[in-house]
Amino acid sequence: NASSLFHSGSRSSKTFKPKKNIPEGSHQYELLKHAEATLGSGNLRMAVMLPEGEDLNEWVAVNTVDFFNQINMLYGTITDFCTEESCPVMSAGPKYEYHWADGTNIKKPIKCSAPKYIDYLMTWVQDQLDDETLFPSKIGVPFPKNFMSVAKTILKRLFRVYAHIYHQHFDPVIQLQEEAHLNTSFKHFIFFVQEFNLIDRRELAPLQELIEKLTSKDR
């Protein structure tokens, strides 16, 4: 059957995007390992704090790559449920709908289905992460002046994937027993963006109640 054949060959097949690897032996790799170790302690507020003597840009870069990989994986588990038919628009509940624009290829926001939107979004993020002038992986190469604003845009957009999953696909998440994984990942994400004030409160509105629930226990 041609359509399923096409589907499996298209990029929206199971593996959603290749994982973005931080080069082993690099300082960023050490930072990632540090982040993983502190996460293991169970105290997320502590885990997101800037390690002493580290560069904020680098810390934000490493964590942004990590969140991209996590969301990529989480969304990958529910792609079967997120289709042109089930999600003709990219939404996070009835009140929030997102239209895609990246400012370069698509300047005027377009209305598109959730899988299409998320494909645009993740491809765009991946292009940013792969851009050595924005996300330098080599030691001593400085971050660009606009790094923080790029990182904020990336995180703001990644949040929308969480919001879509929570609002539109929470049932399959529960069926797949991914709920704890999703909650932990999202909680880590929220603590991180709160710690460095990276996403505007207005943008977080679609998941405000959940954010309050997840973070109130850890004041």
SS3 207: helix
User: CATH number of the domain that 37 lies in?
Assistant: 1.20.140.30
Residue 39 lies in a domain: yes
Average pLDDT per block of 10 residues along the chain, 219 residues long: 36 57 83 82 86 94 95 94 96 95 90 96 95 88 95 98 97 94 95 97 96 79
Residue 82 lies in a domain: yes
DSSP result, 136-203: --STTPPPPTTHHHHHHHHHHHHHHHHHHHHHHSHHHHHHTT-HHHHHHHHHHHHHHHHHTT-S-HHH
pTM: 0.88
Burial of 161 (0-12, 13-18, 19+ CB in 10 A): buried
Token readout for 107 is 């300047």
**Which residues are part of a known binding site for Zn(2+)?**
82, 87, 164, 169
Residue 32 lies in a domain: yes
Residue 54 lies in a domain: yes
User: In the chain, how many domains are there?
Assistant: 1
Residue 21 lies in a domain: no
Q: Which domain holds residue 115?
A: 27-216
CA 167, 98, 209, 57: dihedral to nearest 10 degrees? 120
pLDDT given at position 42: 73
Distance from C-alpha of 71 to C-alpha of 62, rounded to nearest angstrom = 15
| Distances in whole angstroms, Cα of residue 134 to Cα of each of 65, 98, 144, 147, 154 | 12, 25, 6, 6, 12
Residue 7 lies in a domain: no
- Say which amino acid occupies 56: L
Residue 12 lies in a domain: no
Residue 79 lies in a domain: yes
